[in-house]
Amino acid sequence: MKTFGKLKTLGLATVLTATAIGGSIAVAQSVTPNQEKQGRPGWGRGDHGGRRGGFDGMRGDRMFSQLNLTEDQKTKIKQIHESFAASNKPLHEQIRAKRQELRQGEQGGTFNESLAAQKLSEIAVIEAKLMGERFKLHQEVLTVLTPEQKTQLEQLRAQFKANRGNKPGRAERRGDQ
């Protein structure tokens, strides 16, 4: 039973990290206004495949539009996000491959708990690396902002968190209490 608990915890960590990764990529593609959709479906501006974009799960496009970024700042932030995406592509591909291995292990109607635990552990290590890289990304983006914009961003975050506190969480919406 302890193994199942660990497996459930690793699975939850995997889902949360994947959501954060999706959000970071969504921000990278939505920093400049009127940007056309490119690449995979669900990753373009305004279509986040059910995921929230931005830092800390916030909609980055809405927040950054309220910061009155200069064209130079928009360009720099876009370059930072593009560099992040390119340099972390191998990590994303490793995660995708591990998840595919995990799905293949489920085929045939049997569940190999030890294989699942191994693959989820491997995924968790890679996702931990990505979390560190996302933190670096966030810090680098902050260097582009003026002190006033940083203050305004913090105020927007606080406002978002306060508003979010009035809404039920995912488990409550699903009835999983």
Residue 173 lies in a domain: no
Cα 110 to chain centroid distance, Å, stands at 31
**Dihedral sign of CA atoms 79, 160, 19, 127 in order:** positive
- The SS3 of residue 112 is coil
Q: Name the domain count of the chain.
A: 1
Residue 123 lies in a domain: yes
Residue 71 lies in a domain: yes
Residue 174 lies in a domain: no
Q: Measuring CA to CA, how many Å separate 68 from each of 7, 45, 72, 155?
A: 45, 18, 11, 14
Residue 48 exposed, middle or buried by CB count within 10 Å (0-12, 13-18, 19+): buried
- Show pLDDT as tens, one digit a residue, over the chain (177 residues): 555 566 566 565 565 555 555 544 444 444 434 333 344 433 333 333 333 344 433 346 677 788 999 999 999 999 999 999 999 999 999 999 999 988 887 777 788 888 889 999 999 999 999 999 999 999 999 999 999 999 999 999 898 888 887 766 655 555 554
Residue 59 lies in a domain: yes
Residue 171 lies in a domain: no
Residue 45 lies in a domain: yes
- The structure tokens listed for 134 are 């996302």
pTM (predicted TM-score)? 0.57
Residue 158 lies in a domain: yes
What pLDDT does 149 receive? 93
Using an 8 Å Cβ cutoff, are 31 and 63 in contact?
no
What pLDDT does 136 receive? 96
Can you give the residue range of the structural domain that contains 13? 2-165
